[in-house]
Structures are given as structure tokens and as C-alpha cells.
Amino acid sequence: METLYIEAASIECSEERREISGKIVPMGTGEVGNTNLGGVVFEAGSIEIDDPSKIKLLSQHDMKKPVGRMVTATVRPDGIYATFKLSRSTGGNDALVMASEGLVSGLSIGAEIISSAPSRNGHTIVTAAKLKEVSLVTEPAFKSAQVLEIAAE
């Protein structure tokens, strides 16, 4: 199985709660992400999250740099939104600062593709995938990857 890294979304940051929330991936919108596997579109309902509490928030897809853990995930008509509790570690503190300063403006998923098909436009259409991790990133693959709101001390 291949692992796909998708960068997407918006970030909200709250220093008091040490949480970052945002859209982790668009689904069912037709939005094409420029990923490590080329252009990718996720069908609605195509990503499975077994246990949100087991999904780590990483810095830039580096497995050696976890900064938090998923608290909740909600599927909406335009994608998956999630909230992450950040660690009180140096990495967690850095993640909060970087988000509040607008230096890290996107979220990116690492997903195991279970099934996909090519589109007429040459993109990959993912029909089933399993979420493995989410990362804070500086350059998101999806154009909708924008910081919406920062609420920090």
C-alpha cells in the first residue's frame, strides 16, 4: 500500500486550551490537491478514521516530531474538520507560536489509500482511504488551506 500525504486546510488556535482546529481535508468538493502522488481528489466519505485519539499531529510529516493528538473529527459536506490538543512540550509550544504568527498555515493528512481510480483529467480519485496522521505544514496542497482564526494569549 502507498502512503499519500495531502496538505490542506484552515487552522484555528487557542493557547488557553492548547488546541488547534481546522479542516484537515476537503472531500466531495472536486478540489484537486497537488500531492506527492500528483493531483488527488477525495470522494465524499472516502476517508476512514478508526480512533481519533490514536491520530497524532506531527510537524511537517516528521514522525519524530509529534506535537499533539486528535481530540475530535467531524465529517461535513465539504470535508473533515478536526481539533487537536497540543503537547506542553517545546514542539507543542512552537506549533502554537508558529500557527499564531501565520507561519504554519495548513494541515496535511497522511493516508493509506485503499482504493482509487484515475479521472478523465489525469488526477487520482480516492474512493477509500484510512487516516494515519495529520501534520502542521507551511505549504498546503489544497488552495483552501488558509488560517481562519487565531485565538492565542
One digit per residue, the tens of pLDDT, for the chain of length 153 reads: 555 555 555 555 544 678 888 999 999 999 999 988 899 999 999 999 999 999 999 999 999 999 999 999 999 999 999 888 999 999 998 998 898 888 887 899 999 999 999 888 889 999 999 999 999 998 877 766 555 545 444
Strand-pairing partners, residue 76, are: 79
Give the sign of the dihedral formed by CA 64, CA 70, CA 74, CA 76: negative
Predicted confidence at residue 89, as pLDDT, reads 93
Predicted confidence at residue 68, as pLDDT, reads 93
Please list the helix, strand and coil fractions of the chain in percent, rounded to the nearest 5, in that order. 10, 55, 35
- 20/97 Cα distance (integer angstroms): 11
Give me the DSSP letters along 76-107.
ETTEEEEEEEEPSSHHHHHHHHHHHTTSS-EE
Predicted confidence at residue 100, as pLDDT, reads 84
* SS3 (DSSP) at 142: coil
Predicted confidence at residue 28, as pLDDT, reads 92
Its pTM stands at 0.85
